[in-house]
Amino acid sequence: MKPGERPPEFFGSSGLKIGVIGCGYVGLPLALRFAECGHHAWGFDTDPEKPAKLHAGQSYIRHIPAEQIQRLVQCGRFSATSDFSKLREVDAILICVPTPLDERREPDLSYVEQTALSIRDHLQPGQLVVLESTTYPGTTEELVLPILEQTGLRCPIPSEAGDQSVTPDFYLAFSPEREDPGNARYGLANVPKVIGGVNPPSLAAAQALYAQIVAKIVPVSSTRAAEMTKLLENIFRCVNIALVNELKMLAFRMGIDIWEVIDAATTKPFGFMPFYPGPGLGGHCIPLDPFYLSWKAREYDFITRFIELAGEINTNMPYQVVEAISQALNRHKKSVKDARVLVLGVAYKKDLDDLRESPSLKIMDLLIKRGARVEYNDPYFPKLHRMRHYDYSRMQSVELTPENLGAFDCVVIATDHSAYDYQMIVDSAQLVVDSRNATRHVTRNRDRIALT
Ligand SMILES: NC(=O)c1ccc[n+]([C@@H]2O[C@H](COP(=O)([O-])OP(=O)(O)OC[C@H]3O[C@@H](n4cnc5c(N)ncnc54)[C@H](O)[C@@H]3O)[C@@H](O)[C@H]2O)c1
């Protein structure tokens, strides 16, 4: 198909072929949403197990029902593959691959780069490519665009003189994913979608496409503005969580209940938004994304002090929990060394089956290094495996019976899963260190609880 045969309005048509690269937490729901809205969605993933599972109608993400996958596979609206040559057949290509930090905590764009190279090898005139992975401002134009233009096809950035008349050979845009896994109220359909195009036709094409699956589109002037928007949102969360974590530590020292204070402040109908303290940041986004911007800022001789400070405070939180455990055991005339400690919740967030960057893993590691005998329970992880930083491959979730709970010197609430019976936990345990205020409704045996 020639570019002229896919003008921007073409992407407002029904029955499009959409390729989503990366069938993870972000890409899979996105592909399924396009399929639900009457398009033909292809999921592409380098991990061959994922297409195989999806074809078998299986889900590997807890909040995505297998029945939905089965239904869409059977009616021919959704399919998955590791064969990237099929990218030639699609109208639009959406990139949802990981953007982690490397060993030196610098942006690791190797997945985005690898994906851009795969697209380059199959790029067709008139295709729309959208990067959705979170990244620093400039990635779409400075990394993805030059690779795609190695094909000889052009997607020109309008010159500063304002020449916007050039028709691109393909379209390129950035639109950040705002997925909040496990959020029952806000999902793909009702969260506005921010979009920036490399040029006006690219923006128009991406707007036409996404308008079919989301209620509201928010166009911005450039891909860089769209990339920065996502980072602002996540840095806002990161900084505010750090602020409340710091105030929590002060409040404890002053004998003030920080959760009571937050609840009271939240009654102000304007100018305040609650953030809650916890054992540290987790997940693939908030602990990592801000450092994409601080890294890029260095190119401009700029130090992002809020990001650095927030990172310092949040990184320290697991250490602070371990210190609280140590003090609580001390009150029971016990030391951390040789204490039996049960950590409740290894997922980074309540009711999720996601371990990425979970502070629970760090707390367990610190306790083990101090000589504690650590075990865990998590309804979503019957056993653990070897990870990049930790080897918990021999650990299995301890059954939560009153007898088992009572056998530990200390029970630590690291993740406040809804499935836990907190009154039973407190009634059965000798000592509970609660980093989430999960025991706020517990009425009996409150003297066994140490909040942190
Ligand atoms: N998970 C979230 O809550 C969330 C929310 C908003 C934004 N994001 C951003 O979305 C992006 C994706 O995150 P995710 O949570 O979906 O990650 P994920 O790890 O769940 O999924 C990524 C998928 O990409 C695949 N993959 C890796 N390299 C590939 C390649 N070269 N070609 C094809 N597939 C490849 C992996 O096998 C995996 O299935 C990241 O930039 C992340 O920051 C995530």
**What's the confidence (pLDDT) of residue 261?**
98
pLDDT averaged over the chain?
Answer: 95
| DSSP H stretches of helix in 84-144 | 110-120, 139
Sign of the Cα pseudo-torsion (110, 112, 113, 118, in order): positive
Decide which of 174, 190, 221 is a domain's last residue: 221
Residue 230, in any domain of the structure? no
Mean per-residue pLDDT, 320-343: 97
81-96 b/e (C-beta count within 10 Å ≥ 16 → b): bbebeebeebbbbbbb
**Res. 38: pLDDT tops 80:** yes
Question: What DSSP character marks residue 192?
Answer: -
In a domain, 266, yes or no: no
pLDDT score at 160? 56
Helical residues (DSSP H) of 214-257, grouped into ranges: 223-254
- Token digits for 154? 């052009």
Whether 118 is covered by a domain: the verdict is: yes
Distance 40 CA to ligand 1 centre (A): 21
The 10 Å Cβ neighbour count of residue 384 is 20
Ranking 33-42, 175-184, 297-306 by mean pLDDT, the lowest is 175-184
Q: Helix (H) and strand (E) counts for the chain? A: 14, 13
Provide the phi-psi class of 372: left if phi over 0, else alpha when psi is between -120 and 50, else beta: beta
Q: Which helix (H) or strand (E) holds 21?
A: strand 17-21
Conformational region of residue 92, where left means phi above 0, alpha means psi within -120 to 50, and beta covers everything else: beta
In the reported structure, the alpha carbon of residue 113 is separated from the centroid of ligand 1 by a whole-number distance in angstroms of: 13
Cα 115 from Cα 104, distance rounded (Å): 23
> Helix crossing, 258-265 with 223-254: angle to 10°?
130
d(CA 282, CA 129): 30
Q: Which of 166, 172, 174 is nearest to 126 (CA)?
A: 172
* Pocket test residue of 32, 44, 45 for ligand 1, highest count of atoms within 8 A of CB: 45
Six token digits for residue 4: 């002229």
Best residue among 99, 139, 177, 231 to mutate for probing ligand 1, ranked by most atoms within 8 Å of CB = 177
Same-domain pairing of 16 and 103? yes
228 within some domain: no
Active-site residues, by number, are 285
Residue 144 lies inside a defined structural domain of this protein: yes
β-pairing, 340-344 vs 217-220, is unpaired
Q: Is there a single domain that holds both residue 300 and residue 199?
A: no
Does the residue 32 lie in any domain?
yes
Q: What is the pLDDT of residues 48-93, one digit of tens each?
A: 999 999 999 999 988 899 999 999 999 999 999 999 999 999 999 9
Say yes or no: 207 and 336 in one domain.
no
Task: From 196, 221, 246, give the residue that closes a domain.
Answer: 221
> 183 and 293 share a domain?
no
Task: Tell me which residues have their CB closer than 6 angstroms to ligand 1.
Answer: 21-27, 44-47, 50, 96-99, 111, 114-115, 133-134, 177, 179, 181, 284-285
* Residue type for position 138: G
Residue 381, class by beta-carbon neighbours within 10 Å (0-12 exposed, 13-18 middle, 19+ buried)? buried
Angle at 13 between CA 92 and CA 146, to 5 degrees: 25
Full residue range of the structural domain in which residue 39 is found: 3-221
Do 70 and 174 fall within a single domain? Answer: yes
Q: Which residues lie below 8 Å from residue 89, measured CB to CB, with a gap of 6+?
A: 17, 42
Neighbours of 320 (CB within 10 A): 20
Residue 167 sits in the same domain as residue 75:
yes
Both tokens of residue 79? 């399919």
Enumerate the H helices of 211-344 as residue ranges: 223-254, 258-265, 289-298, 305-331
Helix (H) or strand (E) holding 404: helix 402-406
Residue 81 belongs to domain with CATH number:
3.40.50.720
Residues 180 and 325 in one domain: no
Strands (E), 127-216: 128-131, 171-174, 193-197
Nearest ligand 1 atom to the CA of 114 is: 31
Angstrom distance (rounded) from CA 223 to CA 176: 10
Q: 17 with 147, same domain?
A: yes
Categorize the per-residue pLDDT at 4 as very low, low, confident or very high, splitting at 50, 70 and 90.
Answer: low
| Nearest atom of ligand 1 to the alpha carbon of 50 | 39
Looking at the fold, whether 205 and 336 belong to one and the same domain comes out as no
Domain count, the chain: 2
Q: What percent of the chain has pLDDT above 90?
A: 92
Distance CA 312, CA 314 (A): 6
Residue closest via CA to ligand 1's atom 33 equals 45
Walk across the sheet containing 449-451 and list its strands: 373-377, 340-344, 410-413, 432-434, 449-451
Residues 189 and 49 in one domain: yes
- Which residue, 204, 221, 238, sits at the end of a domain? 221
Q: Give pTM, 2 decimals.
A: 0.93
280 falls within a domain: no
Same domain, 191 and 297: no
CA 46, chain centre distance (Å): 20
Cβ-proximal residues to 172 (8 Å cutoff; 6+ apart), any chain: 128, 129, 130, 131, 140, 144, 145, 148, 155, 197, 198, 202, 223
Instruction: Kindly state the average pLDDT of the residues 238-248.
Output: 98
Segment 282-302 mean pLDDT: 95
Please, which pLDDT band fits residue 31 given cuts at 50, 70 and 90? very high
Give the tens place of pLDDT for each residue, 155-194. Answer: 999 975 565 567 899 999 999 999 887 788 998 999 999 9
CA distance linking residue 405 with residue 200, whole number of Å:
61
- Based on the domain organization, do 214 and 75 belong to the same domain? yes
Q: Assess whether pLDDT exceeds 80 at residue 242.
A: yes
Q: What is the C-alpha separation between 36 and 51, in angstroms, rounded? A: 18
